[in-house]
Amino acid sequence: MASDGEVKDIHRPDSTKTLLKNEALYEYILNMVVYPREHECLRELRLLTEKHAEGFMSSPPDEAQLLTMLLKLTGARNTIEVGVFTGCSVLATALAIPDDGKVVAIDVSREYFDIGLPVIQKAGVAHKVDFREGPAQPILDEMIADEGSEGKFDFAFVDADKGNYVKYHEQLRRLVRVGGVLAYDNTLWGGTVAMPDDTPITDDDREIRDVIREFNAKIAADQRVEVVQIPIADGITLCRRVV
């Protein structure tokens, strides 16, 4: 709640997407280890996205750095991304995977993706990106039905409609191989998941908080994956498929 009593959205243009309560500490992390190692095209796309009215929806650079590290540590070659926006995390993925790798990028509209596409092309990795426009669930179902696709992928990243996270998990668990990683963004939703139910937040934030709580509970109980919750950016849940 703002000092004037107004209840504001958890995520908005004037807020920083981090759970760190010390802005100076967050700036220290960015300036010490993130910005100096940020690829010039990632920086260009980040700054371009920040100018957009919905720019706060994008993955922050420290999260992109973490995803890059995970992709390289796991040797990922084939990946899926559900929820693309301008393509910041798609670009980070395409830069991290081998030249013959592929990221299947799914979004209901390519309007925002087209903003970032020229930068992805400039980075020389557009050939790794297979953009598919439309609702994710039927597209994922088509991929599952495609012979040879189950267990084909090494990594999946989801930053899309939170109400469908549980359904995406069931679909992606079939597409990602045993030992592969599924990553879900915004799983702490500004810390609201741990706040008392009567905490003053907007109706939209309350609705998202509730579905995120449900998702977190289901993932915590899912014995088919190993799970870790990371309090970076807005909360990232990592699952390693074991069955």
**pLDDT, tens only, 78-124:** 999 999 999 999 999 999 999 999 999 999 999 999 999 999 999 99
Max CA distance (Å), the chain: 58
Measured in degrees and rounded to the nearest 5, phi and psi for residue 207 equal: -65, -45
Residue type, 136: A
Buried b (16+ CB within 10 A) or exposed e, 9-24: ebbeeeeebbbbeeee
Measured in degrees and rounded to the nearest 5, phi and psi for residue 5 equal: 90, -5
Q: For residues 21 and 30, what is the distance between their CA atoms, to the nearest angstrom?
A: 15
Asked: is 23-241 a CATH 3.90.1150.10 domain? The reply is no
pTM for this entry: 0.92
Could you tell me the two tokens for 195? 């706040």
Q: Where are the alpha helices (DSSP H) in 55-122?
A: 61-74, 88-96, 113-122
* pLDDT tens digits, 133-151: 999 999 999 999 998 899 9
